[in-house]
Structure 1
Amino acid sequence: MRASHRWADGQRLQPSETSYVARTRDRKTLQFSASGSPSIERGYRTHWLSPTLSAAERARVQEQASRPPDLVVVSPLKDWTCTGCGGHGDLLLMEDEAPLCMTCADLDHLTYLPAGNTTLTRRARKASGLSAIVVRFSRSRRRYERQGALVEEQALVDAEASCLADAEARIRRRARDEERRREADSQLADRMAAEISRLLPGCPPQRAAAIAAHTAARGSGRVGRTAEGQRLDQQTLDLAVVASIRHQDTDYDALLMAGVPRDRAREGVREKVSEVLNLWRRG
């Protein structure tokens, strides 16, 4: 912490103390250290802001950092018992390390809104004086995942009316945004194909276009979607080309299907990959 603070001072960053509170109804202050020493706690609560921020930007950042976290309600996987009334239900709220049913937690007047409609959820939660997110533990992914939200009934009614009122405008806006994304993706793929052809003059043009389209696909998580890929970094494009050669010009996939470990399979085709790559480089 001392090293971090010395570095921040050296960068002329400005300190901003932030509150950390629990997701429970009482919003009790969270403690970072075992001792609770004020100086240690202050050190962990301190964020550092750029001195170039305007007063309005600084206030916005501080407001976002200090915003209390959402109340979290759990959809349990196992049977449970409310510590308040001894009952049970489909949802529970943890308070002081003990589960409470929605009635004992004073949340039984809220309406459940399933996840799926982002605009409706956002507007309903904004209009609701009290709200909570609903999560459920995924055994396969080993993490809690959002299932929906609890909001006030009138807030949901108002949000639904608002969504109906501007539904057509939002559809047109989504269509425009989708068209812009398609155009941007097409331009990125074209630039990648041209750069691959420049770096590897022996690579057939249609193959360069296919490699670029594959690695630049939106949402694919491939190297073409990274910041380096969009800057047409040579090492990143080489990785995309090597992956294409490995799958299409060697028996790499057949080795994987035969149960050969991936590292051994890659080593087995390394010479063939280098041969094709060098051929394309020579033109």
Structure 2
Amino acid sequence: MSRKNRVPLADRVAKAAEAALAARHFVSAIDILVGIGWLDSGAVERWRRGQIDCLEEAIQTDPSRISEAMRLFRAWATAGGLSASETVYVDRTPRRQTPRFSRSGNPAIEASYRTHWVSPELSEKKRERLAERASRAPELVVVQPLNTEWICHRCGDTGDLLMMETPGPACLRCVGLDDLEYLPAGDALLTRRAKAKSTRHAVVVRFSRTRRRYERQGLLVEPQSLADAQRDRETP
């Protein structure tokens, strides 16, 4: 695209913001960066899994352009009367740490990234529920590998399931999930009950070569929670 025909960044930011607002009643910095094509959603997922040190490493433009886009985003949100709501982000690892957005780690920049802008049309109660859902820790994801010859980068062991970390795959014992029991998909009611009773759980996925995506295979839950859920199902 020639410079003459290039869409101004302000218009691209506004279009991405409007689409996110229409879909979810709030807009985040990540929505903008993905919407304008500077950030891949797959990279966001790897960042949430702790495989990328900071989100800005995955953004495909220079820091000055990122700052400009964020300034335009805040101006758009303020002009539209949206409410600022700082959201807690938690990574998708057993340690449940706060992932870093910026290379600098500057608190003001981190807060800017964490801020969600909420539709003024929502009631106070709906805004509170929206903020609670947005701050909820994402589910842990465990992979059922296609290659059974993988090696844990921490201890050199292997197994039927693994969790991806920045240096490589890790076994469930090393990430502290080896005490959980596998519940295959298929019984939706039992899965819901076991998940609700378990203080810890992880989704088990496997890559489908035909569909070219990870698909859910089941759930890891605490053994007692599964036993309780099975007993409840059998009780008249």
Normalising by the residue count of structure 2, what TM-score does the alignment of the two structures yield? Answer: 0.64
d(CA) in 1 for partners of 2:188, 2:200: 18
Q: How does 1:124-273 map to 2 (within 5 A)?
A: 124-165=194-235
Alignment of 1:48-127 (within 5 A): 48-78=117-147, 79-127=149-197
Counterpart Cα distance in 1 of 2:190 and 2:167: 32
Residues 111, 151 of structure 1: 8 Å contact kept: yes
1:151 is aligned with what amino acid?
Answer: V
> CA separation in 2, counterparts of 1:32 and 1:142?
29
**Cα offset for 1:89?**
0.6
Q: CA deviation at 1:100?
A: 2.0
Which residue type is aligned with residue 172 of structure 2?
Answer: M
Q: What do you get for the CA RMSD once the two structures are aligned?
A: 2.0
| Counterpart contact for 1:24–1:94, Cα < 8 Å | no
Residue aligning to 2:5: none
C-alpha distance in 2, partners of 1:159/1:15? 41
SS across alignment from 2:105:
coil
Structure with larger RCO (C-alpha < 8 A, sep 6+): 2
Deviation (angstroms), 1:52 = 4.1
Q: How many residues align?
A: 166
Q: Deviation of residue 119 (structure 1)?
A: 2.2
Q: Distance in 2 between matches of 1:45 and 1:121?
A: 32
2:111 to 9, 31, 42: 42
Give the Å deviation of 1:96.
4.0
Q: Write the distance in 1 (CA, Å) between the matches of 2:175 and 2:78.
A: 45
Match of residue 75 from structure 2? 6
CA drift at 1:5: 1.7
Residue deviations 1:14-48 (CA, integer Å, cap 9, x gap)? 11111222211122222333343433332221111
- Per the TM alignment, residue 111 of structure 1 is displaced from its structure 2 partner at its CA by 0.8
- With the length of structure 1 as denominator, give the TM-score of the two structures: 0.54
| Structure 2 gaps, min length 5 | 1-69
Structure 2 counterpart SS, 1:104: helix
CA-to-aligned-CA distance 1:114-172 (integer Å, 9 cap, x gap): 11222221221110011111111112222211111100111112222333457xxxxxx
Tell me how far apart the structure 2 counterparts of residues 154 and 116 of structure 1 sit (CA, whole Å).
Answer: 20
Distance (Å, rounded) in 2 between the aligned partners of 1:122 and 1:109? 19
Q: Could you tell me how far 1:110 is from its partner in structure 2?
A: 1.0
- Give the one of 100, 122, 132 matched to 1:31: 100
Maintained 8 Å contact 2:90/2:99 = yes
Task: Give the greater-gyration-radius structure (CA).
Answer: 1
Distance 1:27 1:97, change over 3 A: farther
Identity %: 55
Please report how far the alpha carbon of residue 59 of structure 1 lies from its aligned counterpart in structure 2 after TM superposition. 1.9
Q: Deviations over 1:57-87 (max 9, x none)?
A: 2221111000111111111111211223321
Judging changes above 3 Å, is the alpha-carbon distance between structure 1 residues 146 and 54 closer, same or farther for their aligned structure 2 residues?
same
